[in-house]
Amino acid sequence: MKRPIIKIDEDKCNGCGLCIPNCPEGALQIIDGKAKLVKELMCDGLGACLGHCPEGAIMVEEREAEEYDEKKVMENIIENSPGSIKDHLEHLKEHNQIVYLNQAIAVLKEKGLDVPLEEPKAEKSKNMPPMGGCPGSRMMDFSKKRETSAGIQGPVSSELSQWPIQLHLINPQAPYFQGADLVVAADCAAFAYGNFHQKFLKDEKVVIFCPKLDAGMDVYEEKLIEIFKTANLNSITLVHMEVPCCYGLVSLVERALKKSGKNILLKDYTVSIQGELI
């Protein structure tokens, strides 16, 4: 079947192992000094390990892969790493994977083991899709929770002060970066956070990209390194979504800043899927 699954760039991987404890399913191992996806059926494709790779060597791709098997994952955890049972269940719960969570709980009950967290109520799973995948692409409808912002009369002015903004199109030597406060934002952040212009763009410059779907992360890294080296920035503000794959933006910027040799104030903001700063 075709589904989201982890891909590891072995040329970038330095074998640090930081991804291993952040894969509760046990799908990753360090072999010959490199992280490897050893069992496709144990990779849920959620990308929880992405933001923990300091080299940006892990990404999520969609390809033909063995179907994820929650029952086999639980049996493996129970046999080889029982101390990770609660972590795995919390991982599923945090990503709203209610179908998989119920399957995992069923395995525990079949084996007469305690369930180390509160079980989800049945009504919570009514609108959940049967398959897993990246929480950033899961269907959700929370339009009924929206309320019209009070006090806004007429059109709101844009605070954007430069063009282009997409990192592929940016010239790192652009004069408007000199002495600027730079915002590095994930593509979805401005759509999710309603006050993005007033909070983040006023008197600042911006570059945007998607750490999951864009190709050419090496190019992005080199461009950011050059900007950091030459622009004499006052600060860098990161704005990204709460979904795990979006934390790749943080890793990329931190890596570029380190390679630039500059000491620049770095601020980090996370936006929830429902548009709140968290």
pLDDT, tens digit (0-9, with 9 covering 90-100), for 134-171: 555 555 665 665 555 555 566 778 999 999 999 999 99
Mean pLDDT of the chain: 84
Summarised one tens digit per residue, pLDDT across range 184-197 is 999 999 999 999 99
User: Buried (b) or exposed (e) across 36-71, using 16+ Cβ within 10 A?
Assistant: ebebbbbbbbbbbbbbbbebbbbbbeeeebeebbbe
User: What is the band of 131 on the pLDDT scale with cuts at 50, 70, 90?
Assistant: very low
3-state SS class at 14 = coil
The percentage of residues in the chain with a pLDDT greater than 90, rounded to a whole number, is 40
**What domains can you pick out in the chain, each with its CATH number?**
2-64 (3.30.70.20), 70-124 (no CATH), 175-271 (3.40.50)
- Could you tell me the CA-to-CA distances from 81 to 42, 74, 88, 118, 153 in Å, in that order? 14, 10, 10, 21, 58
The residue with greater pLDDT, 132 or 209, is 209
Residue predicted with more confidence, 255 or 236: 236
Which residue from 243, 240, 242, 263 is spatially nearest to 252, judged by alpha carbons? 240
* Cα–chain center distance at 127: 23
Identify the three-state secondary structure at position 223: helix
Against a cut of 0.75, is the pTM above it?
no
Q: Over 60: is that where the pLDDT of 274 sits?
A: yes
CA 77, distance to chain mean position in Å, is 24
57 pLDDT above the threshold of 90: no
Residues 148 and 163: beta-carbon distance below 8 Å: no
